[in-house]
Structure 1
């Protein structure tokens, strides 16, 4: 009876504290059996341990008995290879991953080892595993770090990064477990979709993905398209327009909405622009192209801020990933906006590419029959993980109780008063010798705060997008006695902050003082990002504390909940607000921001779902053309005389490959054209809303018939090329027949448009036009 009451109490507590999370009772019940095997496995030699793991490959099913075996073997392998004995909670995480959950494990609880043991478990079932990370550094680090464990379990492992050749990539993907940044794995998928010979493929069929920082990858980046582009020319911004827009003033010539997602010309602004551009009428049909250029230049001028949204480094515009506070490698805005920002900053324009193919991170993950993930903050997005991926969250308790002190937010009337309070807090805590980690919102804020601290005699180390290459070394030392570290967002840093620094020399001294003190300079747009910052303190039962400073004039509040209730009073001297209504307002603003993010995700997926379905259908056809002689059969059937004529001049294999090259070229070209058409439709679909039609329905109505034209057109164009291609001494000259693939290709990610819906933009333009009349 007492055991039943205890179980019921635990279940009730789980429902209250972590609603929607998976029940762990089944896995907890297996822990004693795993412990019972420890002595037996400890007596085996390394060779015998590897052989015992190999026997799991012969198992027909993978149930609880096998879960016990892999966890026990993994614990023993980690003990020998890394001198780390996996905690019970790490084995719970491993079992959660092996049963297809997103496991929530707090910072410092050993997710990397839990993920490696799960990957080995899947590999021992005969499945290929991709462990996706948030950047290339972590992919290589984790693969090399965990390799001795994999070796003892008889599982092969490697990693992919941008420096590898095609052959090296193919070899890496041939291993049972492959680590890679999610973007790099996605780019390899796109590259494989353009090959014309089977032997050029690098990736086998996907089977299992284990996603590190799952909330960041599966939610924050789910709608970010990865793009494969082919060379066209340099993007050109309208420099004349850029120079005109640069002189416009907010409130007089243009307005922005409260959330900073839209900017539009006022009547006075339109008049100034029209006069400066030679007396054109922007709102007449003849001025449509210039109006588009003006809108893009205005967005670049009014809505995108240097050192917040992007850096200018080495003569290039580099985007900043807002959720990670670092440079977003290979990431760019859609070409027109990218060129407009480059014109604004007066740097050289980058290449403009014809989009050959693209895939969103969400669609990339949908390719895997099995997906599991791990992160420190999953419960907050449990609904989205269930809605978009059919994944359930399993919350793993910490190995040692969390004794970090999370103080209530300290709220101030203005950002300047808040900044003074932050400086005073840093000074007071620093005088005790406790290490301090300050989490800022963006690069500009981190550098402004660091400058103020320097002047106040409080030297600090700064970690932001300008020096993200040094992040591991900086973070490793952030727990030293007396250290002050100012950083942009901490999510996905991948390095724990150990008390006393990397060598832990002063650990006891720092622990006695109270451990790491974390300060947030403002609440983030997501409660998960708040949690990621807090979680840097109090790892593995260490002492620590965390406090967020906030203002009712922070960007979060102004953009998402600007209507602050009246009567909230602030202390006249310090500006501090203790009225509970202020805290409710900030919490409300954060919930609104999270809701907007979710709605954007849903809306994007509504449109991309059809595109992904069409892409899957066409890829089946492409794969058949690539792997079989279907192209030759179709062209032989359509033009038998021409085929016989060419068969006399070419050997059969060469002729089959020529037919394949022709049909694959036209398929790829038509798919690229289709993507461009869908992009145009998507950009103009808001006009349907004005006509009281449902934009999504209209998108489907226009997209589906166009798609159905692709395969017949492929055959029609291929036949024309096949009949017209000239045969020389070196065979058929496909280049002369127009079968020319881009001279160079490159990959990048398209940053989410920072603007609101097209429909709202149109209404604002119409409203402005009405005012002019």
Structure 2
């Protein structure tokens, strides 16, 4: 049938698209030869196709064989654009492919290709457990016909299930679970206890979300430690009675809060007349401050929900529960206290790595997403990745209306409800994206009041996500959702079975409405992209209020005093249009600067972690510890049985290395939090951080050797090696969690944000 002239023309158009950083021309030239192989491959039986798949080792054959395997097993013949996306992934790039273009199958062909090119094993990193399991099970027949094994890992997987999954040619796993497994493997005392193999190739799904939005999130492995007291719960009871304006004041940006003199005096009296700023009251001062932050700034059903007796954090980029996340620095305990819940243990941090540093461990990284161009510069800066924009299979005919901007929330909400009701009465499916859980539930109540039934998808019912999204395109469906980024289910017109497709097409397709602009254009584009998939009709519009936090925080000073508006309350003022766009740019810029700042600090920590990991690997896999003891403690070493010396030297050295690293991480955390004070003294905080971090690490290396020798000389090895005799007791319980961004940032982050806003406003 040939590559149509229409498709060729659209390739040419995309090759010239501003912002595209990779020329797709050389890859698109392979499409003809790929298609030319199709008839010959159809003639092969399954066994012969599997044999051909095992012999293949170039892009053309990889795509041709992959296409035929998909056609036979799951009844889907990949489009040319899907093959173009697969070749972009095989070239080590981030493929931007519109929502609904079949990224799951694209990744499968790329994963198969990377194994054939000698880049295996391959990990397909997803944003959550659901997608990891779904995609692995869905694509398994394709992989099997291609002669490959596939596995998946979720939070519920046992150690043996994890080891088996990672032994497969291709493993689907959420980025957090993969990172947690890496951290656990870094602390084994026997190589056989590891579950992962080498980190060769990562195909990152929702690449902008994982590589940029999640990049600075630390993944943590913690161990149990005894806690004698809980001052945060006592402090939470004290701040409940405080009044805003009298006892404390909240900053204009809503990200910091401070006691007034009266409030401070009130707290000190309740604590028995102490001086909170005395040297011996640091713990109390910290506890009341963090309790005040939790009380005054964190909002239930916006920043977190309470479910099954626990506080669950909400990922603001996705509007859903952030699995196994905790806030740092006692903030988690403060929120638990605020809600009358018992505190969950933080434990001692045994090891940690950021998402960004973990992904950098892979030899080959590539990815795919619907929204990569906006963060192309950051992908290049942090990962040396280029973006390849892949055209859609069919032209996008979605109608994207200009924002409807209202002066106040009330008028915006009235107009929004009316717009939804009109579409619903006609039978047209509507998908509304809200900014948080609270807003989604408020809108659902408003719709109920005017007789419009709706499905609500937010952090409180995310288990029903797939079924709710699958039916969002049915006749008359109204779906209210927090952000759609990373919700990996297609919305088919007429419902999941498409039985009413033609009727919905006649009504104009899915109507997507954004109830407010997000801090990130990419998140808005993810929502918008739910309509108009695969050439379907559709429409989108955003309803914005000048009272929205994004606008008031980042553009309040440039809004006109009396903007022009029509009788319906819609603002028609070019200065206001500019202000809304400006607010979003500023928010993105501030977040980028905070990311860059965090990254600059994490570079030195990651360098130290890698150096220590190399040293640990030598201790674990060689006799280097025993050799050291023969040199440093020759008398005792020579009188010790050879096997006992080997076992005891390795165990003692590993224990002290791990313990000192945990202590070092705690020290660096303290330095990082306090270094902003030095910035006030005109010193470069990064330089000051390095001045503390580098010598501390050098001392750590010295102490590992010193403590190992000391422990060896003291332990009784007369009747064999017994770890408990030398007090080598590892935590009896370990757990993993992600450290959620402190919602207020550190003092330094707030300083950067303030400067960023001033610079952007001035520019």
Q: Aligning the two structures, in what range does the TM-score lie when normalised by the shorter sequence?
A: over 0.9
Residues 277 and 572 of structure 1, relative CA distance in 2, 3 Å threshold: farther
1:527 aligns with 2:516: no
Residue of structure 1 equivalent to 2:184: 191
Render the CA deviation track for 1:167-198: whole Å, top value 9, x for unaligned: 22112111111110000000000000110011
Q: Contact between 1:237 and 1:343, CA under 8 Å: does it hold in 2?
A: no
How far is 1:571 from its partner? 4.4
1:123 aligns with 2:112: no
Once the two structures are overlaid, the 10-residue window that deviates more, 628-637 or 475-484, is 628-637
Question: Is there any run of 5+ residues in structure 2 with no aligned partner, and where?
Answer: 1-5, 753-763
How far is 1:689 from its partner? 1.1
Structure 2 residue aligned with 1:641, among 626, 635, 639?
635
Residue of structure 2 equivalent to 1:80: 72
Render the CA deviation track for 1:610-651: whole Å, top value 9, x for unaligned: 00001101111000000111111112222223223331xxxx
Residue of structure 2 equivalent to 1:387: 381
1:717 aligns with 2:707: yes
Structure 2 residue aligned with 1:487, among 481, 484, 488?
481
Residues 176 and 45 of structure 1, relative CA distance in 2, 3 Å threshold: same
1:314 aligns with 2:304: no
Once the two structures are overlaid, the 10-residue window that deviates more, 275-284 or 108-117, is 275-284
Root-mean-square deviation over aligned CA pairs:
2.0
Matches of 2:573 and 2:585, distance apart in 1: 20
Residue of structure 2 equivalent to 1:90: 82
Q: Contact between 1:725 and 1:734, CA under 8 Å: does it hold in 2?
A: no
Matches of 2:179 and 2:407, distance apart in 1: 45
Alignment of structure 1 residues 622-633 onto 2, 5 Å: 622-633=616-627
Q: Contact between 1:263 and 1:299, CA under 8 Å: does it hold in 2?
A: yes
How far is 1:136 from its partner? 0.7
SS at 1:709 equivalent: helix
Q: Contact between 1:307 and 1:442, CA under 8 Å: does it hold in 2?
A: yes
Residue of structure 2 equivalent to 1:135: 128
Residue of structure 2 equivalent to 1:678: 668
Residue of structure 1 equivalent to 2:34: 34
Matches of 1:180 and 1:373, distance apart in 2: 14
Structure 2 residue aligned with 1:705, among 695, 706, 714?
695
Structure 1 residue aligned with 2:326, among 332, 339, 364?
332
Alignment of structure 1 residues 443-522 onto 2, 5 Å: 443-522=437-516
Render the CA deviation track for 1:702-730: whole Å, top value 9, x for unaligned: 1101101122211111112112223475x
Matches of 1:69 and 1:252, distance apart in 2: 73
Render the CA deviation track for 1:641-670: whole Å, top value 9, x for unaligned: 3223331xxxx4454122111100000000
Residue of structure 1 equivalent to 2:233: 239
Render the CA deviation track for 1:583-612: whole Å, top value 9, x for unaligned: 111111111110111011100000000000
Matches of 2:10 and 2:503, distance apart in 1: 36
Q: Contact between 2:673 and 2:746, CA under 8 Å: does it hold in 1?
A: no
Structure 2 residue aligned with 1:744, among 733, 750, 756?
733
Q: Contact between 1:237 and 1:336, CA under 8 Å: does it hold in 2?
A: no
SS at 2:726 equivalent: coil
Matches of 1:10 and 1:697, distance apart in 2: 50
SS at 1:352 equivalent: coil
Residues 677 and 113 of structure 1, relative CA distance in 2, 3 Å threshold: same
SS at 1:752 equivalent: coil
TM-score scaled to structure 1, two decimals?
A: 0.94
Q: Contact between 1:721 and 1:737, CA under 8 Å: does it hold in 2?
A: yes
Residues 570 and 279 of structure 1, relative CA distance in 2, 3 Å threshold: farther
Q: Contact between 2:215 and 2:355, CA under 8 Å: does it hold in 1?
A: yes
Residue of structure 1 equivalent to 2:657: 667
Residues 518 and 10 of structure 1, relative CA distance in 2, 3 Å threshold: closer
Q: Contact between 2:327 and 2:739, CA under 8 Å: does it hold in 1?
A: yes
How far is 1:8 from its partner? 13
Residue of structure 2 equivalent to 1:55: 55
Matches of 2:139 and 2:731, distance apart in 1: 40
SS at 1:202 equivalent: coil
Residues 323 and 237 of structure 1, relative CA distance in 2, 3 Å threshold: farther
SS at 1:732 equivalent: coil
1:363 aligns with 2:357: yes
Residue of structure 2 equivalent to 1:206: 199
How far is 1:20 from its partner? 4.1
Once the two structures are overlaid, the 10-residue window that deviates more, 339-348 or 553-562, is 553-562
Q: Contact between 2:15 and 2:24, CA under 8 Å: does it hold in 1?
A: no
How far is 1:537 from its partner? 0.6
Q: Contact between 2:11 and 2:391, CA under 8 Å: does it hold in 1?
A: no
Q: Contact between 1:259 and 1:558, CA under 8 Å: does it hold in 2?
A: no
TM-score scaled to structure 2, two decimals?
A: 0.95
Residues 432 and 8 of structure 1, relative CA distance in 2, 3 Å threshold: closer
Residue of structure 2 equivalent to 1:589: 583
Q: Contact between 1:237 and 1:340, CA under 8 Å: does it hold in 2?
A: no
Once the two structures are overlaid, the 10-residue window that deviates more, 536-545 or 260-269, is 260-269
Residue of structure 1 equivalent to 2:96: 104
Residue of structure 1 equivalent to 2:247: 253
SS at 1:229 equivalent: strand
Matches of 2:261 and 2:8, distance apart in 1: 66
1:548 aligns with 2:542: yes
SS at 1:351 equivalent: coil
Structure 2 residue aligned with 1:426, among 404, 420, 433?
420
Residue of structure 2 equivalent to 1:771: none
Q: Contact between 1:517 and 1:545, CA under 8 Å: does it hold in 2?
A: yes
Residue of structure 2 equivalent to 1:153: 146
How far is 1:9 from its partner? 9.6
Render the CA deviation track for 1:177-220: whole Å, top value 9, x for unaligned: 11100000000000001100111111112111000000000000
Matches of 2:542 and 2:226, distance apart in 1: 48
Once the two structures are overlaid, the 10-residue window that deviates more, 521-530 or 444-453, is 444-453
SS at 2:106 equivalent: helix
Matches of 1:188 and 1:8, distance apart in 2: 45
Matches of 2:70 and 2:748, distance apart in 1: 56
Matches of 1:501 and 1:471, distance apart in 2: 15
Once the two structures are overlaid, the 10-residue window that deviates more, 635-644 or 164-173, is 635-644
How far is 1:452 from its partner? 1.4
Alignment of structure 1 residues 744-763 onto 2, 5 Å: 744-759=733-748
